[in-house]
Chain A
Amino acid sequence: MIDLTTTTAFTGLPLTIGRVTLTAFDPGPVTSVAPYPGRDLSRALAPLAFPQPGAISEAAGLRLVWAGRDLAFLMGGPAPDLTGLAATTDQTDGWAWLTLAGRDAVAVLARLCPLDLRAAAFPPGRSARSLVGHMQAIVIRTGPEAFELAVFRSMAGSLLHDLTGAMRGVAARRAL
């Protein structure tokens, strides 16, 4: 099989405005895992575990990120054989990923996303499905001031546009 070169869906990144930086990143192969009703995936997925809502299971360079009701995204490597246990679909080229990090990351994201972003409600190591602007998104908190965001790849330009506007707004308030 020909190994194609991955290119980012974003143009103009990395981008720093004020105290926040946007960076495109390549999560590696991404596969959605949707277990069939009543099946036990624990042996097939070990050492990973199918995540509870909002959780992330991490092992051996792979991440299994909760991504919806009875749905998780396996990121960072190929999926194990789950024939008969779960529906798996390659999502690698379906989503555009970026990191939003910096001291005002929460303030920027709060302008676009209705999630409760306080550390008590959404601590590092948690994932959520929510909205960013008008887009359905996956939001993963990787640190107190760092997030990974993913939207459908066709919406990468809109995400960048919305985030850039929010970053400019937060930076402008800082400059007052």
Chain B
Amino acid sequence: MRLSCPCCGPRDRREFTYYGAADYLDRPAPDAGLDAWDSYLHLRDNPAGPTRDLWYHDPCQSWLQVERDTVTHAIHSVAPVAGRRA
């Protein structure tokens, strides 16, 4: 498996660390209520098909949002998390 770091170009899987679902990027407001926070912290989909993950490229210290397919193992896109909310 290879991911294309927006900074470094295509790199080997060994250079990356998986963090979890990209849901972590959508943090609810502090007063959003228990259900929203419970969902944010604990509830994850387990899709067969397209999914969005967070990965960290350790060598260049970039957080990345990766769209990939859990059925075909295709990597659809790799985008930097930095600058998402400028």
Question: Interface 1/0s, chain A 29-56, versus B by CB < 8 A?
Answer: 0000000000000000000000001100
Asked whether A92 is an interface residue with its Cβ less than 8 Å from the other chain, the reply is no
Do A130 and B82 touch (CB < 8 A)? Answer: no
Report the interface size class on chain B. 10 to 19
Q: Which residue of A lies closest to B59 (CB)?
A: A129
Within the complex, what minimum Cβ distance (angstroms) separates A103 from chain B? 25
Asked whether A154 is an interface residue with its Cβ less than 8 Å from the other chain, the reply is no
Do B12 and A114 touch (CB < 8 A)? Answer: yes
Partner of A68, one of B10, B11, B12, B60: B60
Do A130 and B61 touch (CB < 8 A)? Answer: no
Report the interface size class on chain A. 10 to 19
Instruction: Kindly list chain B residues whose C-beta atoms are within 8 Å of the C-beta of A69.
Output: 7, 60-62, 82
Asked whether B8 is an interface residue with its Cβ less than 8 Å from the other chain, the reply is yes
Asked whether A117 is an interface residue with its Cβ less than 8 Å from the other chain, the reply is no
Would A131 and B15 be within 8 Å (CB), given that A53-B8, A54-B8, A69-B82 are in contact?
A: yes
Could you pull out 30 A-B pairs where Cβ atoms are within 8 angstroms?
A53-B7, A53-B8, A53-B60, A54-B8, A68-B59, A68-B60, A68-B61, A69-B7, A69-B60, A69-B62, A69-B82, A71-B61, A114-B11, A114-B12, A114-B14, A114-B15, A115-B11, A116-B10, A128-B8, A128-B59, A129-B59, A129-B60, A130-B11, A130-B15, A130-B59, A131-B14, A131-B15, A131-B58, A136-B59, A137-B59
Q: Which residue of B lies closest to A138 (CB)?
A: B59
Q: Which residue of B lies closest to A129 (CB)?
A: B59
Instruction: Kindly list chain A residues whose C-beta atoms are within 8 Å of the C-beta of B15.
Output: 114, 130-131
Main secondary structure on A side of the interface with B: strand
Partner of A136, one of B8, B10, B58: B58
Docked Cα-Cα span, A115 to B14, in Å, equals 10
Docked Cα-Cα span, A43 to B7, in Å, equals 24
Docked Cα-Cα span, A116 to B8, in Å, equals 11
Candidate in B8, B60, B62 with the most chain A CB atoms within 10 angstroms: B60
Within the complex, what minimum Cβ distance (angstroms) separates A40 from chain B? 17
Docked Cα-Cα span, A71 to B82, in Å, equals 14
Instruction: Kindly list chain B residues whose C-beta atoms are within 8 Å of the C-beta of A129.
Output: 8, 59-60
| Additional 18 contacts, C-beta under 8 A, given A68-B61, A128-B8, A137-B59 | A53-B8, A53-B60, A54-B8, A54-B9, A68-B59, A68-B60, A69-B7, A69-B60, A69-B61, A69-B82, A114-B12, A115-B11, A116-B10, A130-B59, A131-B15, A131-B58, A131-B59, A136-B59
